[in-house]
Amino acid sequence: MAYLFTSESVSEGHPDKIADQISDALIDNFLAFDPESKVACETLVTTGQVILAGEVKSKTYLDVQTIARDVIRKIGYTKSEYMFEANSCGVLSAIHEQSQDINQGVDRQNKEDQGAGDQGMMFGYATNETEEYMPLALALSHKLLQELAALRRENNEITYLRPDAKSQVTLEYDDNNKPVRIDAIVVSTQHDDFDDEPAMLAKIKKDIIEILIPRVVKSNPAYAHLFNDKIEYHINPTGKFVIGGPHGDTGLTGRKIIVDTYGGKGAHGGGAFSGKDPSKVDRSAAYATRHIAKNLVAAGVSEEILVQVSYAIGVAKPMGIYINTYGTSKLNLTDGEIAKKVEVLFDMRPYFIEQRLKLRNPIYSETAAYGHMGRKPEVVTKTFTAPNGDTKTLEVELFTWEKLDYVEKVKATFGL
């Protein structure tokens, strides 16, 4: 039976995403100067104020105020009328040293025995309905806001955009679980004030439909056939959206975990990602299970797959690995039998995840907006500056968990 499925995304200027980006900028700076840093950093943003809190074990010292302001400036909060502005907002740090009780459960004399930084279960998911092996509704929701942010920065075709925005895409699927068309699109974007409110609302709707949507279609030709003249558009459905960002809504690290992962498809574990170093399996094992899921689907094991792993705090070996192929497996094996082979092929002890995916590098700022999954692996050069003026320039590989580097090993393991 045909059905509808919806996913949402939020822009880099959304309050929760500001918080995520600040937390991950701190992670990157700690790891740049001390790759063995243990960090759990939370950020709260509200009108004119940033509050940092968390636990750190590191050999380096950071100017957290400057780092936070740089992130806010890069996002685009640079005007006083936003009531949250990079140069003038207060930045309060309540970061303190990590509990030794936790640290003793993670660090080991033999690094390979490194324990999990917390208990919990983590999920990875992949589907072949997009070239990124991501759920299509979420992929389109991200693409809408990435293109909207590009329009804002160009400040040419649309000149009134402010940083805060949300999107939502509803897809219609057929009886074979294949997306056939876009049923509805929601875009809410913060904007400058207009003298004439009805004219303002009409212009914003016209610009989104006639400027934004064609740009998304042009840059994503593989999905052009899903756009149609029957799409129901809800553009700024509450009306005026001048008050936004942290002035309109308090932001907190880790509140957009479904946006960060699979848009409601598959499953999500118990923890958020941003602000955590890779010893925290909430983050590293979620990346590792995505890496497994994507390589399994790309190798032809199944059309979609869910991978779960679970840990006890301080224990290296996972409690277990679970696989669900949703009845789409191409193998003459049960999902449990697939899981046993996966357990041998991918070492899921925390140290080996960190090594396999190169997670002790400063690669996290780029994950903190528009999703941690489905992104393009690439090598970039990043420069960091310490409070004493020392700089460190590093070449790092982003989104290593998105690489299809295990496809041939998977095929060999399963005889594909």
Sequence length of the chain is 416
List helix spans (H) across 228-334.
245-248, 257-260, 281-299
Is residue 231 within 8 A of residue 214, CB to CB? The reply is: no
Residue 255 annotated as binding? yes
Task: Please state, in angstroms and rounded to a whole number, the distance separating the CA atoms of residues 128 and 126.
Answer: 7
Say what the pLDDT of residue 4 is: 97
Per-residue pLDDT at 270: 82
Other beta carbons within 10 angstroms of residue 151's beta carbon come to 19
- Annotated ligand binding at 240? The verdict is yes
Q: How far is CA 22 from CA 83, 90, 156, in A?
A: 18, 14, 28
What pLDDT is attached to residue 107? 61
203 marked as part of a ligand binding site: no
Cα torsion 268, 21, 62, 385: sign: positive
So what's the pLDDT on residue 100? 64
pLDDT at 226: 96
Q: To the nearest 10°, the Cα dihedral for 28, 33, 36, 42? A: -40
- Note whether 314 and 335 are within 8 A (CB): no
- Tens of pLDDT, residue by residue, the chain (416 residues): 789 999 999 999 999 999 999 999 999 999 999 999 999 999 999 999 999 999 999 999 999 999 999 999 999 999 999 999 999 999 999 999 865 655 555 665 667 668 787 889 999 999 999 999 999 999 999 999 999 999 999 999 999 999 999 999 999 999 999 999 999 999 999 999 988 889 999 999 999 999 999 999 999 999 999 999 999 999 999 989 999 999 999 999 999 999 999 999 999 998 999 999 999 999 999 999 999 999 999 999 999 999 999 999 888 899 999 999 999 999 999 999 999 999 999 999 999 999 999 999 999 999 999 999 999 999 999 999 999 999 999 999 999 999 999 999 999 999 99
150 is in an annotated binding site: no
Residue 98 marked ligand-binding = yes
Burial class of 388 by CB neighbour count within 10 A (0 to 12, 13 to 18, 19+)? exposed
Two structure tokens written together for 97: 């040293």
In the DSSP assignment, the letter for residue 211 is I
277 is in an annotated binding site: no
* Angstrom distance (rounded) from CA 257 to CA 276: 13
Q: Is 107 annotated as a binding residue?
A: no
178 is in an annotated binding site: no
Instruction: Say what the pLDDT of residue 228 is.
Output: 92
Q: Which residues of 261-291 are buried (b: 16+ CB within 10 A; e: fewer)?
A: bbbbbbbbbebbbbbbbbbbbbbbbbbbbbb
CA 67/CA 90 separation, integer angstroms: 13
Q: Are 112 and 104 in contact (CB under 8 A)?
A: no
- Does 249 show up as a binding residue in the annotation? yes
**DSSP code, position 396:** E
Q: How far is CA 286 from CA 71, 121, 282, 345, in A?
A: 25, 9, 6, 17
**Mapping DSSP to helix (H, G, I), strand (E, B) and coil, where does residue 294 land?**
helix
Query: Is residue 311 a contact partner of residue 116, using CB atoms and an 8 Å limit?
Result: yes
Confirm whether residue 166 is marked as ligand binding.
yes
Q: Go through the domains of the chain in sequence order and give each one's CATH number.
A: 3-9+136-243 (3.30.300.10), 15-107 (3.30.300.10), 120-128+257-414 (3.30.300.10)
193 is in an annotated binding site: no
**Residue 382 marked ligand-binding:** no
Question: Is 165 one of the annotated binding-site residues?
Answer: yes
Ligand-binding annotation for 16, yes or no, is yes
